[in-house]
């Protein structure tokens, strides 16, 4: 086996699961919210948690799931941004944050999404629920089904807005991070969640984002605020800088200012402490010779994205385990070897190296032809 050792800037490699934060760092954050999490967006790694699985009222953070189902319908092609939506009596009767739709008023899906994302319009959320599912009740069932698919074990919805508190309408900070990550996977949603000010109805109605981090926090990409008397001040905030993104969720903060301060502290901690490292960008994988193959060699590739999260930037090594040669035939996806990422305690991760293409075995006539070429 070929073994290559080289220095890399990796210190602590984190798997995409909950990781305990050192006590000193936890105390330094000094958050006011009763529940909070920080998640790295691309890997789903949980970097900080405080009562992450306690079930709490989510208020309008509920609409992250509403927006996700809308986004997925658009991706499936069952809905377009240009489709029109007609407000029902039920949608027009919603209270709280709204744009005061009138029964029978029509808007495009594009405008409806903008109103939900920017000003948390309850009337638009219900109108979209009815557009997609026929009724809010059926839409809510779809919300709960999607929550189960995402592994949101501490979540149950009874409406699509979060406007009214209900003991059966709850979620957790961790679950909000999960659904926020799913929504952010639709990159275009940021065209709406990053809007600071805009307008609808031909300029007659002005929208100003309820999430002030969109204006004040460098790299902010959204996402959703919420408030009720029971839920208190809630926020799912996301940001991205230099290719790495984080999701900060705070639930049941005592004031609006404190929810934004908590989220900003979490996001700043993420950006200051963590970076992403890509095996494909940092490791040169040599081709592997193929014996008796129609091609002389096959190029190994990393299995999956091979993007790893590292902390503090300390030095470590990698060990590349590849054979000098393999026998034909080779099928794309065949396991060729392993890339081991090493830290101070040993192997931090093992990345499978796969064949990038098919290499067929030489036929007898092809083999004779190659032999004659050498004569």
Active site residues: 60, 63, 120
Residue 330 to residue 336: CA distance in whole angstroms: 10
Q: Could you give the C-alpha distances from 60 to 71, 182, 225, 280, 285, in angstroms and in order? A: 17, 17, 6, 40, 48
Residue 342 to residue 356: CA distance in whole angstroms: 25
> First and final CA of the chain: distance in angstroms?
32
Q: In the numeric block, which tokens belong to residue 257?
A: 């200012």
Residue 126 to residue 107: CA distance in whole angstroms: 13
Residue 68 to residue 175: CA distance in whole angstroms: 14
Place of tokens 């192997």: 347
Q: Classify strands 288-291 and 325-327 as parallel, antiparallel or unpaired.
A: parallel
Q: Classify strands 2-9 and 315-322 as parallel, antiparallel or unpaired.
A: antiparallel
Least Cα distance to 66 among 192, 183, 163, 171 occurs for 183
Q: What are the backbone angles phi and psi of residue 206, rounded to the nearest 5°?
A: -95, 140
Beta bridge partners of 204: none
Question: Residues of 100-109 as b/e, b for ≥16 C-beta within 10 angstroms?
Answer: ebeeebebeb
Using an 8 Å Cβ cutoff, are 290 and 328 in contact?
yes
Residue 40 to residue 244: CA distance in whole angstroms: 8
Place of tokens 């949101």: 152
Residue 130 to residue 126: CA distance in whole angstroms: 6
């Amino acid at each position: 086996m070929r073994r290559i050792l080289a220095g890399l800037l990796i210190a602590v490699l984190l798997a995409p699961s909950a990781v305990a934060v050192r006590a000193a760092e936890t105390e330094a954050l000094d958050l006011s919210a009763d529940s909070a999490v920080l998640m790295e967006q691309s890997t789903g790694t949980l970097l900080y948690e405080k009562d992450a699985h306690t079930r709490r009222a989510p208020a309008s953070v509920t609409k992250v799931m509403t927006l996700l189902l809308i986004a997925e319908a658009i991706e499936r092609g069952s809905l377009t941004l240009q489709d029109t939506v007609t407000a029902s009596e039920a949608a027009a009767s919603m209270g709280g944050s709204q744009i005061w739709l009138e029964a029978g008023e029509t808007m495009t899906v594009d405008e409806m999404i903008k109103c939900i994302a920017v000003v948390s319009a309850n009337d638009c959320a219900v109108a979209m629920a009815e557009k997609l599912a026929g009724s809010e009740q059926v839409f809510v069932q779809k919300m709960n089904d999607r929550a189960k698919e995402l592994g949101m074990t501490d979540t149950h919805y009874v409406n699509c807005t979060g406007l009214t508190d209900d003991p059966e309408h709850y979620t957790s900070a961790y679950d909000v991070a999960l659904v926020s990550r799913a929504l952010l996977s639709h990159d275009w949603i940021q065209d709406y969640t990053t809007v600071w000010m805009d307008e609808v109805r031909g300029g007659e109605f002005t929208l100003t984002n309820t999430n002030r981090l969109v204006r004040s926090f460098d790299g902010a990409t959204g996402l959703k605020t919420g408030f009720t008397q029971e839920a208190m001040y809630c926020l799912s905030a996301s940001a991205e800088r230099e290719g790495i993104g984080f999701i900060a969720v705070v639930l049941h903060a005592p004031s609006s200012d404190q929810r934004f301060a908590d989220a900003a502290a979490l996001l700043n901690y993420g950006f200051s402490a963590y970076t992403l490292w890509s095996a494909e960008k940092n490791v040169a994988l040599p081709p592997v010779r193929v014996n008796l193959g129609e091609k002389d060699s096959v190029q190994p590739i990393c299995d999956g994205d091979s993007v790893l999260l590292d902390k503090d930037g300390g030095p470590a090594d990698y060990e590349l385990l590849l054979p000098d040669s393999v026998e034909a035939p080779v099928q794309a996806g065949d396991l060729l070897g392993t890339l081991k990422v090493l830290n101070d305690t040993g192997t931090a991760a093992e990345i499978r190296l796969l064949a990038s293409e098919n290499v067929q075995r030489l036929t007898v006539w092809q083999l004779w032809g190659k032999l004659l070429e050498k004569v």
